[in-house]
């Protein structure tokens, strides 16, 4: 019998960010392994045109929940959506709902966050810092609470090279920043943001670091743990390989490369690609919830959920495997044939951006314009290059994360729990994982049918012929111009012809 699965039986669990990437996999695994849990409260904000119930139904009727619908037929009843907006005071939760949450909750998993790199500092502070503070305050009023699990990021200290499982202080106290946000107007925030952020590359990583400080400072008597995943990727094993549903992190890059928009990138091929599958993160999260509640460690433990020091893979190897998978399972409607150049040289990057990205986009736009359609490729390309410029920081550096607590927890699990809640990334076969990842992007994110593969291959062959034709014409024109201007070129030409 799994100790972890048994632990969650009969429990009332509160999840924030349940509609997000990690949140969905968390609910799925919880309901599949502990179908006798009492209830999962999820804090959901109403979104345009969708009631809370519709949002929940949309999630649990997807393929991700296929297996769990069999194990737990009353899934709808297990999940109780509570209307909440983490940007509002008391999260805009009704009095009755708040009462129920305060009196019943046993475990909290705090996943909600803004993960946008370029979010305005005020908004990022509100969601990643102030909301965490408010949730901790709520937690302190919950008599039955056994554990509070906070999801942070391994990059909250990306300004350091070696990162231990400890909380590093930021130069300005989070409480001061929260208070100042109330009376600073946007112009002041914009001016002061770079100074506050110092060597953090974006508001996301900075506010996640502040969020951790808040957790440390406001933990009181709560039983808290922090999980720091690195770059979270598609599922490795559960509920099936390759599931992914958003364009964040590498996903957007795989789409852009597979469709032939992105053909070169400023990246260090030898830098460690610290990807971690989402089901690994969730297995660790559930194990940490159990351990924190049952063993009640004296201090807040931090768990790094990373792959680099246990089973490293670099961007070069990953890029090659992604490309070779495209040959077997190409994406539909490619703009150009997939190709990947990794370079750290700035001049080469500018060259590739001009020749491989902007020029083909402009030529295609001219073609659209000539055929009476609206040009759109240049705009799309500019947007893609902007996105890449934001990710570049993370693909040109390597970090070392120590994983003592994570390894300690692994050794505390029974063999059965090690199997059911497997977070041992040493067992991951990268080549197999990446192939399933690319396949998952095609099937679950782009919603492409496998039956379309022959047509996609045919389309790539047509693109190859256009490429050869274009290059031949280009060469002939260049050669003709050269012959007209240079005696040496003319001599060479006559010599060849003769
Ligand atoms: C040579 C090629 C080789 C290829 C081979 C392949 C090799 C493998 C891969 C190698 C490299 C891997 C690098 C990973 C590094 C990750 C580091 C993460 C570290 C931290 C991890 C964390 O701890 S935390 C999670 C990370 N957090 C994000 O990762 C959010 C990022 N993101 C944003 O911060 C905003 O997104 C941002 C960008 C401001 C735009 O902002 P924006 O306002 O311009 O655009 P929007 O977001 O509004 O999106 C407008 C439209 O662009 C669509 N779109 C959005 N992103 C897109 C995207 N990446 N690619 C395409 N399309 C995208 C979207 O779907 C919309 O489409 P539509 O208009 O049709 O609805
Ligand atoms: N994905 C990754 O690569 C990594 C993620 N992490 C961390 O994991 C956690 C989850 O990330 P991920 O699942 O990828 O993020 P997503 O962007 O997929 O999900 C964010 C969640 O937060 C919710 N949320 C945002 N704003 C509010 C609000 N005002 N009120 C209520 N809910 C809100 C969203 O709800 P809605 O659906 O309504 O928008 C959504 O459920 C985050 O803490 C992130 O920092 C850490 C490392 C890497």
312-351 pLDDT tens trace: 999 999 999 999 999 999 999 999 999 988 988 889 999 9
Give the pLDDT band (50/70/90) at residue 72: confident
C-beta 81 within 6 A of ligand 2: no
CATH class given for the domain over 3-244+267-314+398-445: alpha beta
In the chain, where are the structural domains located?
Answer: 3-244+267-314+398-445, 449-498
Gap between the terminal Cα atoms of the chain: 85
Pick the closest to residue 442 from 279, 315, 332 (CA basis): 332
Q: Report pLDDT digits (tens) over 400-453.
A: 999 999 999 999 999 999 999 999 999 999 999 999 999 999 999 999 999 999
CA of residue 117 to ligand 1 center, whole Å: 9
Ligand of minimum distance to the alpha carbon of 55? 2
Does 480 score more than 90 pLDDT? no
Structure confidence by residue, pLDDT tens digits, 353-381:
998 899 999 999 999 999 999 999 999 99
Distance, CA of 287 to CA of 409 (rounded, Å):
8
Q: What pLDDT does 48 receive?
A: 78
Among 263, 279, 358, 235, residue whose Cα is nearest residue 319: 263
Say how far apart CA 300 and CA 291 lie, in whole Å.
12
Ligand nearest to the backbone CA of 150: 2
Mutate to test the pocket of ligand 1, among 121, 278, 387 (most ligand atoms within 8 A of CB): 387
Mean pLDDT of the chain: 94
**Residues 259-279: what's their mean pLDDT?**
94
Q: State residue 490's pLDDT score.
A: 85
pLDDT at 215: 97
- The preferred substitution site among 109, 113, 123 for testing ligand 2, maximizing ligand atoms within 8 Å of CB, is 113
- Distance between CA atoms of residues 380 and 478, nearest Å: 30
Q: What integer pLDDT is reported at residue 49 of this predicted model? A: 82
Confidence at residue 214, expressed as pLDDT on a 0 to 100 scale: 97
Decide if 132 contacts 177 (C-beta within 8 A): no
Q: Looking at residues 61-87, what average pLDDT do you find?
A: 93
Q: Whose CA is nearest to atom 47 of ligand 1?
A: 116
Is residue 234's pLDDT more than 90? yes
Which helix (H) or strand (E) covers residue 341, if one does?
Answer: strand 341-343
Cα separation, 266 vs 292, in Å, equals 41
Residue of 163, 247, 357 best suited for mutating to test ligand 1, as the one with most atoms within 8 Å of CB: 247
Rounded average pLDDT over 463-492: 86
State pLDDT tens for residues 134-174.
999 999 999 999 999 999 999 999 999 999 999 999 989 99
Tokens of 392: 């570049």
């Amino acid at each position: 019998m799994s100790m972890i699965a048994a632990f969650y039986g009969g429990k009332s669990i509160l999840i924030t960010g349940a509609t997000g990437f990690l949140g969905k996999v968390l609910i799925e695994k919880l309901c599949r392994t502990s179908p006798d849990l009492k209830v999962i409260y999820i804090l959901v904000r109403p979104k345009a045109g969708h009631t809370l119930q519709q949002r929940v139904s949309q999630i649990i009727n997807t393929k991700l929940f296929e297996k769990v619908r069999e194990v737990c037929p009353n899934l709808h009843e297990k999940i109780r959506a509570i209307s909440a907006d983490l940007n509002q005071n008391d999260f805009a939760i009704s009095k009755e709902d708040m009462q129920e949450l305060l009196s019943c909750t046993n475990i909290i998993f705090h996943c909600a966050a803004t993960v946008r790199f370029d979010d305005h500092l005020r908004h990022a502070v509100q969601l990643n810092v102030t909301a965490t503070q408010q949730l901790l305050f709520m937690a302190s009023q919950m008599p039955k609470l056994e554990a509070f699990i906070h999801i942070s990021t391994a990059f909250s200290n990306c300004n350091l090279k070696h990162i231990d499982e400890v909380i590093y202080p930021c130069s300005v106290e989070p409480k001061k920043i929260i208070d100042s946000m109330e009376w600073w107007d946007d112009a002041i925030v914009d001016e002061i943001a770079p100074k506050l952020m110092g060597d953090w590359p974006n508001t996301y990583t900075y506010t996640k670091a502040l969020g951790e400080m808040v957790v440390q400072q406001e933990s009181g008597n709560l039983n808290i743990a922090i999980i720091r995943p690195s770059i979270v990727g598609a599922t490795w094993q559960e509920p099936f390989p390759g599931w992914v549903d958003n364009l964040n992190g590498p996903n957007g890059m795989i789409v852009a490369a597979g469709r032939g928009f992105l053909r070169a990138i400023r990246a260090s091929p030898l830098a460690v690609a610290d990807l971690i599958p989402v089901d690994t993160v969730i297995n660790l999260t559930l194990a940490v919830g159990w351990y924190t509640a049952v063993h009640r460690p004296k201090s807040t433990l931090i768990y790094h959920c990373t792959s680099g020091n246990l089973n490293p893979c670099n961007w070069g190897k990953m890029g090659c495997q992604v490309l070779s998978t495209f040959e077997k399972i190409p994406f539909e409607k490619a703009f150009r044939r997939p190709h990947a150049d990794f370079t750290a040289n700035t001049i080469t990057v500018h060259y590739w951006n001009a020749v491989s990205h902007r020029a083909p986009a402009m030529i295609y736009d001219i073609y659209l314009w000539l055929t009476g359609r609206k040009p759109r490729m240049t705009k799309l390309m500019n947007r893609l290059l902007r996105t890449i410029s934001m990710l570049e920081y993370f693909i040109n550096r390597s970090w070392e994360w120590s994983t003592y607590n994570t390894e300690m927890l692994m050794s505390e699990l029974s063999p059965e729990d090690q199997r059911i809640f497997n977070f041992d990334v040493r067992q991951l076969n990268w080549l197999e994982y990446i192939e399933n990842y690319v396949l998952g992007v095609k099937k679950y994110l782009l919603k492409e049918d496998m039956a379309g593969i022959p047509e996609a291959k045919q389309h790539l062959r047509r693109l190859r012929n256009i490429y050869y034709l274009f290059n031949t014409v280009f060469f002939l024109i260049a050669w003709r111009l050269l012959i007209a201007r240079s005696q040496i070129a003319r001599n060479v030409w006559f010599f060849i012809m003769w």
